[in-house]
Amino acid sequence: MIQGHGGNKQHLADRMGCRLEDIIDMSSNLNPLGPPERIHTFIRENIHLIHALPEPDAAGMSRGFAAYHGIDSGCVIAGNGTTFFIYSLPLALGAKKALILGPAYADYEDACATHHVKTCHCLTLAENNFVPDLDQLSAGAGQADLVFICNPNNPTGALIAKQDLETLIRRHTDTCFVVDESYLPFVPDAEGFSLVTQTHLPNLVVLSSMSKIFRIPGLRTGFLSGAKALIQKVMAHYQPWSVNALAQAVIKDIYNHPEDILPFYRQTREFIVKARRTFVHALAETDGILLFDTPVCFVLARLDWIPAPQLCRRVGDDRFLIRDCSNFKGLSRRFVRFSLKTNEINLALAQSIKTALALAREQG
Ligand SMILES: Cc1ncc(COP(=O)(O)O)c(C=O)c1O
């Protein structure tokens, strides 16, 4: 489904009468340090790859991911972004009723709707800092045959410990769990939270997006990993050449140089920790806005007296595009999300928000 997504850059550029590149897009959660330079160089030097068909099942790309994580390549499928899997899983797994740990990325629900799979939500609450109630989640999982968990969560940033997830997954063997780790590489000690290596769990699949951490959403690349029996079910719905030749080659090149990956992750994580601290500090004493703590590259905020669409419009006048979270189930017109960029930009946004809040208060 096309509607459930974030801010429309073109729309703001049209309203402001400016060029698309003059809009500061803080609505999409992408690595401010990405993409690594080698991706640009690689694409420039390998453009001829589009002259031939790539591997129909992108097996080489899957092998790169599998080798990096030390898992069997038969437990991995490479796709045209994780979106490709989100939309095929409800059908491939023959789901009847799905549970979504929310508020969450809207595509889980949209994908289920596409395949006429019923959905219900286990919603986390602002007053609990969006920390999931694991007992409630477990009770809901017992009633569903498919469960979507985004870890860390988009848009709240809430992160569930590996042990807690494993306990939940082992408790409900008749339920298939989809754990979306698309934002996990941003988290310090991400490796201690990841379920990618748990391919022995027969009712788990993990989604790993390349779009966010490497800042290549336009290339459309991601992975699904999990138990072989589930992989076979998903493969039964796989379309040949879903991942284009350049995309396959770029990802293979990344995994051919594993020595560069962890340093890039580390650099990103250190940058994000500092950037978030500076941004949160800049708004800490500001009346009318409450920021929720996250370990990722975006920050969710609750607004007291200015509705989200109004704040989006006001900061839009300064050419900042932020995410109005009104359309997330479990949130409301009181929530917005900011994706962090450089300190200079983040601080400029903080100033724009302060001005908008002060103005809104004055005007009652
Ligand atoms: C939580 C989450 N999962 C998956 C996706 C899809 O990303 P992609 O298809 O580029 O891998 C997004 C995109 O915003 C997301 O926020």
- Which residue among 88, 182, 300, 325 is best mutated to probe the pocket of ligand 1, counting the most ligand atoms within 8 A of its Cβ? 182
Which protein residue's CA is at the shortest distance from atom 15 of ligand 1? Answer: 105
Q: Give the position, in ligand 1's atom list, of the atom nearest the Cα of 150.
A: 1
Could you identify the residue written with the tokens 């992989």? 231
- Contact 211 CB / ligand 1 (< 6 Å): yes
Q: CA-to-CA distance for 179 and 195, rounded, in angstroms?
A: 8
Distance in Å, CA 72 to ligand 1 centroid: 24
Q: CA-to-CA distance for 172 and 167, rounded, in angstroms?
A: 9
Return left, alpha or beta for 147; rule: phi > 0 is left, psi -120 to 50 is alpha, else beta: beta
> What type of residue is 49?
L
- Which residue among 26, 211, 296 is best mutated to probe the pocket of ligand 1, counting the most ligand atoms within 8 A of its Cβ? 211
pLDDT (0 to 100) of residue 7 = 61
pLDDT (0 to 100) of residue 361 = 87
Q: At what angle do helices 245-256 and 258-283 cross, to 10 degrees?
A: 100
Distance in Å, CA 360 to ligand 1 centroid: 33
Instruction: For the chain, 364 residues long, give each residue's pLDDT as a single digit of tens.
Output: 545 565 689 999 999 999 999 999 999 999 999 899 999 999 999 999 999 999 999 999 999 999 999 999 999 999 999 999 999 999 999 999 999 999 999 999 999 999 999 999 999 999 999 999 999 999 999 999 999 999 999 999 999 999 999 999 999 999 999 999 999 999 999 999 999 999 999 999 999 999 999 999 999 999 999 999 999 999 999 999 999 999 999 999 999 999 999 999 999 999 999 999 999 999 998 999 999 989 999 999 999 989 999 999 999 999 999 999 999 999 999 999 999 999 999 999 999 999 999 998 888 7
pLDDT (0 to 100) of residue 208 = 98
Q: Give the position, in ligand 1's atom list, of the atom nearest the Cα of 5.
A: 14
- Contact 105 CB / ligand 1 (< 6 Å): yes
pLDDT digits (tens, 9 = 90+) for 184-217: 999 999 999 999 999 999 999 999 999 999 999 9
pLDDT (0 to 100) of residue 11 = 93
- Which residue among 154, 205, 223, 243 is best mutated to probe the pocket of ligand 1, counting the most ligand atoms within 8 A of its Cβ? 154
Q: CA-to-CA distance for 340 and 34, rounded, in angstroms?
A: 12
- Contact 217 CB / ligand 1 (< 6 Å): yes
- Which residue among 85, 87, 107, 108 is best mutated to probe the pocket of ligand 1, counting the most ligand atoms within 8 A of its Cβ? 107
pLDDT (0 to 100) of residue 5 = 63
> What type of residue is 184?
L
Q: Give the position, in ligand 1's atom list, of the atom nearest the Cα of 211.
A: 10
pLDDT (0 to 100) of residue 29 = 94
Would you give the distance in Å from CA 247 to the centre of its chain?
Answer: 19
- Contact 150 CB / ligand 1 (< 6 Å): yes
- Contact 4 CB / ligand 1 (< 6 Å): no
Distance in Å, CA 76 to ligand 1 centroid: 18
- In order of start, what are the domains of the chain with their CATH numbers? 9-30+261-362 (3.90.1150.10), 48-256 (3.40.640.10)
